[in-house]
Amino acid sequence: MSSAGFARLFNPRAIAVVGASGNPDRIGGQPVKVLQGTGYRGGIHPVNPKYPKVFGLPCFPDLASVPKPCDLAIIAVNAVLVPQMIRDCGAAGIPYAIIFSAGFREIGAPGVALEKEIKVAAHDAGVRFIGPNCIGTMNLIDRVYCGFGPGFADAGLKAGPVAFVSQSGGFAFSVVALAEAEGVGFNYIVSAGNETSITSLDLIADFIERDDTEIVVSYMEGISDGRRLRAIGRRALELGKPILVWKVGNTESGRAAAESHTASMTAGYALYRAAFAEGGFIEIADVHDLVDGVRAFSGRRLPRGPNLGVLTTSGGSGVLMVDAADRHGLKFPRLAPETVRAMKEIAPPNASLANPVDLTAQVTGNAEWVNRITRHVLADPNIDQLIVRYGSVQGAKGEEWASGLAALVTEAEKPVLVAWSRVPDRSERSVEVLERHRIPWLITPTRTADAAGMLYQFSRKRAALEQRCKRSGARVVASRNVPLPARARRLSEHQSKAVLAAYGIPVATDALIAVAGVARLKRAPMPFPVAVKIDSPDIPHKTEAGAVRLNVRNLAQLKRAARDVVAAAKQHAPKAALRGVLLSPMASGVEVIAGATNDRFFGPVVMFGLGGIFTELLRDVSYRFAPFDVETAHEMIRETRAWRLLAGYRGKPPLAVDALAEALARLSLLIADHAGRIAEIDINPLFVNETRVVAADALVVLPR
């Protein structure tokens, strides 16, 4: 889809309103009336065989009669009539429709069939549409209001370089109203409805490519193409345009069908978060985040690193920014000695010249003084971005200060954010100067630090993408075949380990002994102590089945243990196929879990976290989409609290983190290379000691 893809949809030369009415309370009446009052300069063609005129405009009996060219039909008729209207659009050469009508998927089975019908009709007719069951779209640049309801009542909404794609209709316009009250304007607003034809992702992908759009806001309940979400996230990073995503409906539902820990923990939101974390998304959670995000990115500058400088006239606000910045990984470096020296000569006597720099109330009313000091802090090589909070500067002094600051910012390349100590009157000259120079301003120290955090987050992800691209192609293991039995539902531990071994993931050197052969053993095939386990594809959770004996120390114990686990297995699952008794050396080290699943929406993904009971208890795990390289594996290890254990906890020597990272990278290649053939993999526990890693247990689940 090209970036000009939806140009005619959002800025049509003419609009037909099918089901038009002279009653402004009806959904077919509202858009006609509204479009007449917003300044839209294209044609408006009501369509309804019942009326000769609607709101003074000639009303056409059908779409075939509408003058050409017409680029868009608004469809506001009973649901059962919609398929024919779509076909009529095609016949009349109208490429786009917006379907207000409800009564489709959202009402259950009869609606599902009807929705399928409009999908087929649109495909056959070459028509693409927004909806059904949506409240419409708005193009604020060209004043095209194609919608109904109170959200479209305000003809005076101001435009801004922000596109908004929402999966909630009514609430979207509440967000628009709340954001406008804080001075944030949008260019395109879309209520996506049931997304039968054009989806939210189609729209986001289109908007980020547009020159008139700097920021995209997405109010998201759920999408069905996680791979595309990831691709869009990557594109957003490449373009340097953030997607502020407000993801809702995140209650953990789990998946009834999942057998492995990995798949059961990888419920929907975890993968959304993984996609948001790697791509050009900034997660927001309320309107004020949206406002602050738009403000921050409107500055069109990103910091090169985490180092934040703060210049304030109130120590209290500095404390708050330090508290908040920590959550975003921002740092407060010391200022360079030359900066401190230069400041010392001009700063007021009681000023604190550490970072945050506190000039105190002594500089109140002396804007030039503040700016002279600001110049030094902004130039400091240790600082990647700067927050300036000059309390309570107003009127002419405010304008003088803002103009001086703007001159400094213009010379520099770093982001500068202004923290106001009050809610500024947006008609103030100082605000006008800041906005003209694209200096983002925010209220409250915490919100300002949060905004700085958003800029840093985006910048960090861009750099990470660049690094990944540079490293790309470096496979730690070549693609190879793996032994998967036909028609199996899952593999036994021994079979599962063979699959891992094919990709060079270290597994315990086990011995599989036929059930009947154990009693005849003359000596153990490996040194004691050993673990004795049943090996069966039908008993994935051996411990729960009582089919595991640990720390077995001699041959007599071994034979007894083997008898016990076989008996336990038979009692637990009488029909289970028993492939034998598996003997494993006892492993030790820190227990971690590494897992992989081939998600229906997002594709192959790898999970890592602390093992044993702590996996599910803590849910302290990290995710990466597969495949990935060893560096990425290191990142995912460092994201979890397991990292502290692995890095040498309380004076202990560091463990084999390099080997662990390599195993994760190999696992990612295994699931990616065989995504169609493997559904889930658990390596639990994977032991990490000082010299190596070893998979002590494994489970491979095949697709149904």
Q: List contacts with a copy of itself (CB under 8 A).
A: 102, 107, 135, 149-151, 153, 166-174, 177-178, 181, 219, 221, 248-251, 285-288, 313-317, 319-320, 322-323, 326, 350, 361, 364, 391-392, 421-423, 443-447, 544, 613-614, 616-618, 641, 644-645, 649-651
CB atoms within 10 A of CB 502: 16
Using an 8 Å Cβ cutoff, are 339 and 380 in contact? Answer: yes
Cα 387 to Cα 408: distance, rounded to the nearest angstrom: 13
Cα 229 to Cα 353: distance, rounded to the nearest angstrom: 45
CB of 240 to a copy of itself, least distance (A): 29
Cβ closest to a copy of itself, residue 442 vs residue 499: 442
Q: What contacts 543, CB < 8 A, 6 or more positions away?
A: none
Is the Cα torsion angle 290, 294, 295, 300 positive or negative in sign?
Answer: positive
Cβ closest to a copy of itself, residue 550 vs residue 618: 618
CB of 630 to a copy of itself, least distance (A): 25
Cα 33 to Cα 46: distance, rounded to the nearest angstrom: 10
CB of 162 to a copy of itself, least distance (A): 18
> In the 3-class helix/strand/coil scheme, how is 649-685 assigned residue by residue?
HHHCCCCCHHHHHHHHHHHHHHHHHCCCCCCEEEEEE
CB of 172 to a copy of itself, least distance (A): 7
Cβ closest to a copy of itself, residue 12 vs residue 132: 132
Cα 505 to Cα 700: distance, rounded to the nearest angstrom: 14
CB atoms within 10 A of CB 600: 10
**Residue 494 phi, psi (nearest 5):** -65, -45
CB of 58 to a copy of itself, least distance (A): 30
Extract the tokens encoding 515. Answer: 């059930």
DSSP 3-state of 339: helix
Cα 434 to Cα 400: distance, rounded to the nearest angstrom: 11
Q: Between the CA of residue 96 and those of 15, 16, 36, 102, what are the distances in Å?
A: 10, 10, 20, 18
Cβ closest to a copy of itself, residue 224 vs residue 543: 543
Could you give the residue ranges of the DSSP H alpha helices within 359-444? 367-379, 395-411, 429-436
CB of 470 to a copy of itself, least distance (A): 34
CB of 418 to a copy of itself, least distance (A): 14
CB of 30 to a copy of itself, least distance (A): 11
CB of 495 to a copy of itself, least distance (A): 25
Q: What contacts 552, CB < 8 A, 6 or more positions away?
A: 528, 529, 530, 531, 532, 558, 561
Cβ closest to a copy of itself, residue 367 vs residue 670: 367
CB of 314 to a copy of itself, least distance (A): 4
Cα 252 to Cα 249: distance, rounded to the nearest angstrom: 9
Tokens 């011995």 belong to 511
Cβ closest to a copy of itself, residue 411 vs residue 544: 544
